[in-house]
Amino acid sequence: MLVSQSNDEIIQKDRNSVWHHLTQHKDLDVNDPFIVAEGKGMIVKDTTGKEYLDATSGGVWSVNVGYGRESIANSVADQLTKMCYYSGIGGTIPGALFADLLIKKMPELSRVYYSNSGSEANEKGYKMVRQLSHIEGNGSKHKIIYRHRDYHGTTIGALSSSGQSERREDYGPFAPGFAEFCHANCFRCPFGKKYGECNIECAHDLERVILEEGPESVASVVLEPITAGGGIIVPVEEYYPIIQSICKKYDVLLHIDEVVCGFGRTGEWFGYQNYDMQPDIVTMAKGLASGYAAISCTVTNENIFNRFKSNPDNKMSYFRDISTFGGCAGGHAAAIENLAIIERENLVENSQKIGEYLLDKLKGLRDKHEFVGDARGKGLLAGIELIKNSDTNEPAHEHYAIKIANYCKKKGILIGRTNRSIPANNNTICLTPALIAGRSEIDTIVHTLDEALENIHPLP
Ligand SMILES: Cc1ncc(COP(=O)(O)O)c(C=O)c1O
């Protein structure tokens, strides 16, 4: 049991002992850390008792079904007292049941590999394609292509495949065998074109990189279906069919990272299902159990799975990987109940419907405010890009986004922003409320954001 302590004591203990994520601790010498004590629905309360409407789903887009779900807590508690853990070398009952439920949502995909974070799920995908290259050839078809502005995780392999230089800087050297192609943000088209008058050059850029690297060396391409932390970038509908056909042409596997977009966030069960495409590998975490327990999955098609068992005489030919905490049955149990809630409460449909409402409102802000250059989103993954100058669309400095976010926080609304992604482009405000959001919550969030934009202007 947690012993009840005063706010001052908690702040003191946190200050003395916790090393916070993505935080310059010098700031905490003068500001208190933000410590959340309670949550219900979309509301969180900090240790001072102040309440906030959370438009970030737990800071990093995880609590898809909202806070305080007793049914998830009960499922996890029941499971933990019955059978808390067994390694994935064996299995658990909820592990089997959840895998069966999950693949029903993902036609053409059939195998679920458990681990415990988004980064790790992606690493599994990379190890799978690399091992296939070794067991079926000489290991030369091992390269993985990723996209500028996408993020795939914090471990060195996942970071080596991430297109965000501010997340990478100072953590090199990186793993070899990764290469980058361009982002898909029409608002800052890397080819200086306009959608409607272009040939979707950003998708064709993948082919350029495959040819430069040598098609015989490229194993897979990893992509967020919609770039999340890199600035809420929604590729146009023609984009993924082009990507898919390039992959087919060069025998390159398509790995889609659904760590943010999965589980209804974009108005479909999975972000890729907004597009005409069929991935070979899909990774997921965050909304998979809405943060009630740590769990991630790497899901593949049967062909990939079968290739690892086609040569049992070679003792090295099966997938020689393990994730200790992939065997935590509490994660599997939480995922089952999380999925049941999303189904029972039609949260995928709600995300789509309320997401459209939110995007309409954000477009209103774009039309109204000089310093909002673009409004983008799909489902309840939406954002506005802040600019300094509406003639040139020069990006606003990140201080502007920070001030807007701080203003909203003071008013009791938690909103997100691009944070240490790419230099000069940490200028997107991100809105990712829980999928239970209704019009009134969206109205409150957008009203406060509107007020912030009215009151605060970027420095010239
Ligand atoms: C798209 C994407 N992939 C992977 C990850 C890494 O997930 P984790 O922090 O659980 O390792 C993140 C984290 O934000 C993410 O946004």
Residue 227 has pLDDT above 70, yes or no: yes
- Out of 282, 284, 286, give the residue to mutate to test ligand 1, the one with the largest number of ligand atoms within 8 Å of its CB: 286
Residue 1 has pLDDT above 90, yes or no: no
What does the pLDDT read at residue 3? 58
Q: Which two tokens stand for residue 239?
A: 């984009």
Residue whose Cα lies nearest atom 7 of ligand 1: it is 118
Distance 378 CA to ligand 1 centre (A): 18
**Residue 454 and residue 216: Cα distance in Å, rounded?**
54
Distance 17 CA to ligand 1 centre (A): 25
Residue found by looking up tokens 């916790």 in the block? 18
Looking at residue 54, its amino acid is D
What does the pLDDT read at residue 4? 76
Q: Which two tokens stand for residue 381?
A: 């993954």
Distance 57 CA to ligand 1 centre (A): 14
Q: Which two tokens stand for residue 398?
A: 């990140």
Nearest Cα to Cα of residue 396 among 350, 440, 427: 427
Segment 404-429 mean pLDDT = 96
Instruction: Give me the chain's average pLDDT, please.
Output: 97
Distance 153 CA to ligand 1 centre (A): 5
Distance 61 CA to ligand 1 centre (A): 10
pLDDT bin (cut points 50, 70, 90) of residue 405 is very high
Q: How many CA atoms lie within 13 A of 223 on its CB side?
A: 28
Residue 153 Cβ contacting ligand 1 at under 6 Å: yes
Evaluate whether 450 touches 415 at the Cβ level (below 8 Å).
no
Segment 69-91 mean pLDDT = 98
Residue whose Cα lies nearest atom 16 of ligand 1: it is 260
Residue found by looking up tokens 């994660």 in the block? 331
Distance 10 CA to ligand 1 centre (A): 28
pLDDT tens digits, 105-121: 999 999 999 999 999 99
Alpha carbon separation from 287 to 18, 175, 422 (Å, rounded): 25, 28, 25
CB atoms within 10 A of CB 169: 10
What does the pLDDT read at residue 5? 86
Give 249-301 as a 3 state SS string: HCCCEEEEECCCCCCCCCCCCCHHHHCCCCCCEEEECHHHCCCCCCCEEEEEC
Question: What is the CA angle 443-449-451, rounded to 5?
Answer: 100
Provide the 3-class DSSP secondary structure of residue 121.
helix
pLDDT bin (cut points 50, 70, 90) of residue 188 is very high
Distance 386 CA to ligand 1 centre (A): 24
Nearest Cα to Cα of residue 125 among 261, 279, 293: 279
Segment 330-359 mean pLDDT = 98
Nearest Cα to Cα of residue 262 among 296, 217, 218, 211: 296
Segment 145-162 mean pLDDT = 98
Point out the ligand 1 atom lying closest to the alpha carbon of residue 122.
4
What does the pLDDT read at residue 460? 77
- In which element (H, E) is residue 29 found? helix 27-30
- In which element (H, E) is residue 193 found? none
Q: Which two tokens stand for residue 345?
A: 């409460």
Residue 186 has pLDDT above 70, yes or no: yes
Segment 259-275 mean pLDDT = 98
Evaluate whether 315 touches 402 at the Cβ level (below 8 Å).
no
Residue 119 Cβ contacting ligand 1 at under 6 Å: yes
Point out the ligand 1 atom lying closest to the alpha carbon of residue 224.
1
pLDDT tens digits, 316-344: 999 999 999 999 999 999 999 999 999 99
Percent of the chain residues past pLDDT 70, beyond the cut: 99
Point out the ligand 1 atom lying closest to the alpha carbon of residue 258.
1
Point out the ligand 1 atom lying closest to the alpha carbon of residue 117.
10
Give the chain as a 3 state SS string: CCCCCCHHHHHHHHHHHCCCCCCCCCHHHHCCCCCEEEEEECEEEECCCCEEEECCHHHHHCCCCCECCHHHHHHHHHHHHHCCECCCCCCCHHHHHHHHHHHHCCCCCCEEEEECCHHHHHHHHHHHHHHHHHHHCCCCCCEEEEEECCCCCCCHHHHHCCECHHHHCCCCCCCCCEEEECCCCHHHCCCCCCCCCCCCHHHHHHHHHHHHHCHHHEEEEEECCCECCCCCECCCCCHHHHHHHHHHHCCCEEEEECCCCCCCCCCCCCHHHHCCCCCCEEEECHHHCCCCCCCEEEEECHHHHHHCCCCCCCCCCCCCCCCHHHHEHHHHHHHHHHHHHHHHCCHHHHHHHHHHHHHHHHHHHHHHCCCEEEEEEECCEEEEEEEEECCCCEECCHHHHHHHHHHHHHCCEECEECCCCCCCCCCEEEECCCCCCCHHHHHHHHHHHHHHHHHCCCCC
Would you give the distance in Å from CA 164 to the centre of its chain?
Answer: 14
Question: What is the CA angle 212-215-217, rounded to 5?
Answer: 95
Question: What is the CA angle 85-89-92, rounded to 5?
Answer: 40
Residue 358 Cβ contacting ligand 1 at under 6 Å: no
Set out the domains of the chain in order of their start, with CATH numbers: 34-63+347-455 (3.90.1150.10), 71-344 (3.40.640.10)
**Residue 362 and residue 406: Cα distance in Å, rounded?**
19
Residue whose Cα lies nearest atom 13 of ligand 1: it is 153
Distance 460 CA to ligand 1 centre (A): 34
Residue 54 has pLDDT above 70, yes or no: yes
pLDDT tens digits, 271-302: 999 999 999 999 999 999 999 999 999 999 99
pLDDT tens digits, 368-394: 999 999 999 999 999 999 999 999 999
What does the pLDDT read at residue 2? 58
